[in-house]
Structure 1
Amino acid sequence: MRTNLPGVRSERRASVNQPLRLWGGRFTADPDPALTRLSRSEASDFGLVPYDLAGSRAHIRELGRAGLLGDAEIATIQKEIDAVEKLHAAGLIEPWPEDEDVQTFLERVLTQRLGPLGGKVRAGRSRNDQAANDLKLYLRHHARGLMKNLLSLQDAIVAQAREHVATPAPGVTHLQAAQPITFGHHLMAHAQAFARDAERLIDWDRRNAVSPLGAAALAGSAIALNPELVAEELGYDGSFENSVDAVGSRDHVAEFLFVTAMHAVNLSRLAEEIVIWCTQPYRWISLHDSFATGSSIMPQKKNPDIAELTRGRSARLIGGLMTMLAALKSLPLSYNRDLAEDKNACCDAVDGLALVLPAMAGLIATMTVDVATMRDAASRGFTLATEVADFLARRGVAFSEAHEITGALVRLCEETSCQLHEIDDAGLASIDPRLTPDIREHLTLEAALDARMAKGGTSPARVAEQIDRLTQRLAVQRDWAGGYRGPQP
């Protein structure tokens, strides 16, 4: 956008109203339009403006330490950087079509506003270390936002699990009724996966809180000689060990994309179960009207669209990870333009989860559980059969034999259309005399649940302890999310 906008200083001279290129002195011809279109960064790159400006603030102080800028010049540039950030946030400064990337855009704007002083900011750095730094700052900042949304989802799951610590539900394998568990225990299985997602994010940040600024194009800078100070100012834990690695690596991007893709997969698994639980054959839960949709033709419909959209979005996040891995697999060191693929994949992952997580958290927090229907389902399909085998094993019967006896008892129940606890004494004895009447005290949902009393089991007491332990882990995650020292536009 070239027209003067409210609050935007007029160009100091006509020459700076022309498109800016950060290269080209040795070229005798302008870039072909086809090259320009291909070379121009996509929209995600221009979303990194605040992070590039944060890097520039730190860099101009480094130029001051190097003697290239005086205090008054630093103050003038700092004031203009602050103004540009505010104007850009308000939509009053926008990239031109000719701006190749975010670095070109911002240098053009600063040069328009500062004249030759704006051009001094480029000294001692390269687009290579700038681009690496911009994305790192973006990811480290947005990792905290992702964590906060993850915490909201985990909080919603934990709240529902507390309500249903002792609610019997069918535990399934192969989507077949297996053994009774509590619904709280099942929900906490999802919470454990999300807690690991959160901890992967913390671990990712610990490993990658390293500044690339000062690496310049690839060999390091002969001007910016204090990368450790710049790193500290930007909230990093340290600066790069190897300048080639600093600009040529993107394993931190691939790792971030793995963390988000794994999180999307875990979300998709939960979403799939929500869809199943809502179906008429199940009817275990009902969704709040504010987190469900309807049909344009069938008035009775209430659809779990949030869960379905979450399943679909997971495919994109998996695709982003594959894109980055494929882009990296054959790249020689150090920097190559192939690495420009990093920003689209990262921004799509961050934006996608920013949409999905609050919706899923709200869906979980507001859903209603049909305890009676779930309890009835928990005892169907002979889910208490393992109690019979365990009963025999505790009385000295080899489990292989106990398994066969229990199978025969199940077969009798199927033939007589009854449940295990409904077989009379004669029926039990006809299968095996060791199936004594006192077995019936073990053939209740509560007895089966209470029997699983080891740590990690589905006994209500153990589930309550599991919730307490997870709550302590969530406190660590909250501290991490709130303790970031880097730029937070």
Structure 2
Amino acid sequence: MAQLWGGRFTKETDQLVYNFNASITFDRKFYKQDIEGSIAHVTMLAKQGILTEQERDDIVRTLKEIRDEVESGKLEITSEYEDIHSFVEANLIDRLGDTGKKLHTGRSRNDQVALDMRLYTRDELLHTDDLLKELLETILKIMEANTETIMPGFTHLQKAQPITLAHHMGAYFEMFKRDRLRLHDIYERMNYCPLGSGALAGTTYPLDREYTAELLGFYGPTLNSMDGVSDRDYLIEFLSACATIMMHLSRFSEEIIIWNSNEYQFVEIDDAYSTGSSIMPQKKNPDIAELVRGKTGRVYGALMSLLTTMKGIPLAYNKDMQEDKELSFDAMDTVKGCIALFTGMLATMKFNKGKMRLSANNGFTNATDAADYLVKHGVPFRDAHGIIGKIVLYCIERGIAIDDMSLDELKAICPVFEEDIYEEISMETCVNNRLTIGAPGKAAMEKVIEAEKAYLAEDWKKETLTR
């Protein structure tokens, strides 16, 4: 059992207790961050005269060797070690002897793991943001190509008013854009360095915490050592943002599943993102969309687990906080995988524009515009609403659309109708007369698309990372 402690103890830890306590099976994921933090730490120690420059150089060189050997597979991270910190330090000491033992000067595992988790979460946040940007670029391409692709808009899963595919896709663009903004906000709050907090009360060594923070790309050091080692708000916030991302992906997946059904036939999912049935040869199942929808609950569970773990922990560090890792790592990997696969599915999906247009025609989606026509001709809206309701009932009984009624039939119900009603309730007119920003009209959509292009051209990370 490779442990970083033991002087105070007279007995070996029971093997079951050791296994229960150990975290190496999952915290091995942030070996890069652990080594990165250690390199910054010894660099600062040398700057402060706590280590010699030679000791710094030897430790930094050897830490990089350990990192490279882990990545090449030459060095294996095994359960012989209690955690990733003991793995790195034990291997360092094996290679450097007493010099390696100086690595941990002025540092506790409490602030070390706080740093590692923060660095790992920051890396995951930036990677998730990159994936979201790729998804937004895919959505924007669909929007640009479909400003005239008419389809029904829905409320209560009932056809409501005609819109365009560009407009429908634009709603998801806004959702995922907000997700990126949330990640940016979290980054701004979390980007402070806990290293130097010690176990909970700092250290008597003359550490330069500002310098360490700078080396690691943080805005500065955390300002309270107790909070520095016990804060997991940033992780809760990130998991909350991940849960919201998954909620948006799940809503989108649900619509694709519906649109892919035989009853709708709005889309055809590429074979690469579909599977068949073991017994029904005609089936082509939207498995990726269904799995994304299903995995949403998995990410929700990670968030709720961490909230529950943290709710009863007194200051400062407690071993409970080791439970912040496994489910969080799983949630982060799940979200990244779902975004990447969903983006691929969406990019290769075919949209059956004719089916969409026919569905809008057959769903009385122009009924509101027919009522507006009567209002423009002096009929009070409430009366117009009732008149169009009668017309819809008339059409349902005969299996026709409003457009299919003759002018005589329309006049028999309300004499106000004239020949121009047909132009007023055409799908193109219904859509393109809606010109307010955010509406589905082509002119309005083109303005929005230009705004979204400008947004995607911005690089908040470039500005943030060079602060």
Instruction: Calculate the TM-score normalised by the size of structure 2.
Output: 0.96
Residue in 2 aligned with 1:345? 327
How far residue 382 of structure 1 moved from its aligned partner, in angstroms, is 1.0
Per-residue Cα deviation, 1:50-75 (whole angstroms, up to 9, x for no partner) = 10111101111222233221011111
| 1:142 to 2:124 alignment | yes
| 1:276 to 2:258 alignment | yes
Q: Distance in 1 between matches of 2:397 and 2:254?
A: 34
Q: Distance in 2 between matches of 1:230 and 1:463?
A: 48
Map residues 55-454 of structure 1 onto 2, 5 A cutoff: 55-454=37-436
State the structure with bigger RCO (CA 8 A, min sep 6), 1 or 2. Answer: 1
Q: Distance in 1 between matches of 2:189 and 2:141?
A: 32
RMSD: 1.8
The answer to whether the 8 A contact 1:132-1:212 is kept is yes
Q: Distance in 2 between matches of 1:444 and 1:457?
A: 17
Per-residue Cα deviation, 1:369-427 (whole angstroms, up to 9, x for no partner) = 11111110011121111001212233343322222222122122223332112222333
Q: Distance in 1 between matches of 2:407 and 2:171?
A: 39
Q: Distance in 2 between matches of 1:189 and 1:126?
A: 48
Give the number of equivalent residue pairs: 467
- Paired AA for residue 371 in structure 1: K
Q: Distance in 1 between matches of 2:81 and 2:264?
A: 56
Q: Distance in 1 between matches of 2:209 and 2:380?
A: 69
| 1:480 to 2:461 alignment | yes
Query: Could you say what secondary structure the match of 2:195 adopts?
Result: coil
- Paired AA for residue 480 in structure 1: K
* TM-aligned CA distance change 1:243 to 1:398, over 3 Å: farther
- Paired AA for residue 220 in structure 1: G
| Identical aligned residues as a percent | 38
Residue in 2 aligned with 1:461? 443
How far residue 297 of structure 1 moved from its aligned partner, in angstroms, is 2.9
The answer to whether the 8 A contact 1:286-1:367 is kept is yes
- Paired AA for residue 89 in structure 1: E
The answer to whether the 8 A contact 1:62-1:224 is kept is no
Gaps of 5+ in 1: 1-18
How far residue 224 of structure 1 moved from its aligned partner, in angstroms, is 4.9
* TM-aligned CA distance change 1:342 to 1:485, over 3 Å: farther
Per-residue Cα deviation, 1:11-35 (whole angstroms, up to 9, x for no partner) = xxxxxxxx43222222222111221
How far residue 169 of structure 1 moved from its aligned partner, in angstroms, is 0.5
Instruction: Calculate the TM-score normalised by the size of structure 1.
Output: 0.92
Query: Could you say what secondary structure the match of 1:170 adopts?
Result: strand
Q: Distance in 1 between matches of 2:25 and 2:161?
A: 51
- Paired AA for residue 352 in structure 1: T
Question: Structure 1 residues 207-216 or 154-163, which shifts more?
Answer: 154-163
- Paired AA for residue 380 in structure 2: A
Q: Distance in 2 between matches of 1:86 and 1:33?
A: 31
Query: Could you say what secondary structure the match of 2:420 adopts?
Result: helix
The answer to whether the 8 A contact 1:147-1:481 is kept is no
